[in-house]
Amino acid sequence: MSETRNHRLSRFLVVIGRVYCLGDPNIRARLRSFHCRQMLRRFHPLRILDAGCGRSGQLGWFGGIAPIAYSLSRQFLEAEVVGLDRDHEIGRHNQECASRGRIQNLEFFTRSIEGGESLGRFDVVVFSDIARDSDRDGQLLQNVSGLVAPGGVLLVICPSTERLVWHRWPKWVSSGTGFDAESISRVLAGSGLKVRNIRRILGLSGALAAEASDRISKLAYPLLVLLFPFLMTCGVLEACGSISRGETLLVAATRAADER
């Protein structure tokens, strides 16, 4: 009886935390999703692909559905949204979450990026937190670029060449990996796409909020849930101005409308 009571209490607390945080309190994932939606707010796509969609934690909607694919399905209710991941467990989990939430315009497939060609081309392709380095992941970016329809847009969210470290005070240092504007533009141009916008995200306040989130979660996860609205606000406020330095790049590239 006590085990049943504890299980019910645990489920109740999960629901309360989910509603309080409006989803998973993963700062980096939530900020990537936020900036992605902001970048696409003037688009009217019919088909959207989240390539390498992943999943969220237990506090994510419906038990941890892929955060970007789900948020885009709510932003573009008339669009067909597809989440793609090569991990069978992730694909199964996301599809169960979508079924649990009765989401009509969202579907998940378990395939590699190369296997995504069988799904056709998309008006918007999101490639978030997969490509990490221009030398190692150039071919991967070329493969995902092939899924963009004529006139469509590819959104790449990838690490920059800088990291914010905290010793006595915050300091930007070179990471030795990642992308800068020149390297990401060169790779995408080689894939037949033209870079239209490169925006830095996770600047000083966003990176500090993410670092604080990581440290707090290791100490006491309930405390992270409690502080999440404040930390998320610190990251979101960066969207009100330009950021000269940031840990992450958000890149929008398009394919010519007359290209076949």
Q: Is the pLDDT of residue 2 over 70?
A: no
The more confident residue out of 166 and 223 is 223
pLDDT band of 13, cuts 50, 70, 90: confident
Mean per-residue pLDDT over the chain, rounded: 90
The more confident residue out of 106 and 59 is 106
The reply to whether 259 falls in a domain is no
Look up the CATH number of the domain holding residue 27. Answer: 3.40.50.150
The reply to whether 260 falls in a domain is no
Domain containing residue 17: 2-254
pTM of the entire predicted model? 0.91
The reply to whether 193 falls in a domain is yes
Map the chain to HEC letters.
CHHHHHHHHHHHHHHHHHHHHCCCCCHHHHHHHHHHHHHCCCCCCCEEEEECCCCCCCCCHHHCCCHHHHHHHHHCCCCEEEEEECCHHHHHHHHHHHHHCCCCCEEEEECCCHHHHHHCCEEEEEEECCCCEHHHHHHHHHHHHCCEEEEEEEEEEEEECEEEEECCCEEEEECCCEECHHHHHHHHHCCCCEEEEEEEECCHHHHHHHHHHHHHHHHCHHHHHHHHHHHHHHHHHHHHCCCCCCCEEEEEEECCCCCC
Q: Quick one: pLDDT at residue 166?
A: 81
The reply to whether 82 falls in a domain is yes
Number of domains in the chain: 1
* pLDDT tens-place string over residues 121-157: 999 999 999 998 888 888 899 999 999 999 999 999 9
Q: Quick one: pLDDT at residue 260?
A: 63
Greatest mean pLDDT among 15-19, 38-42, 91-95 lies in: 91-95
The reply to whether 22 falls in a domain is yes
The reply to whether 107 falls in a domain is yes
The reply to whether 77 falls in a domain is yes
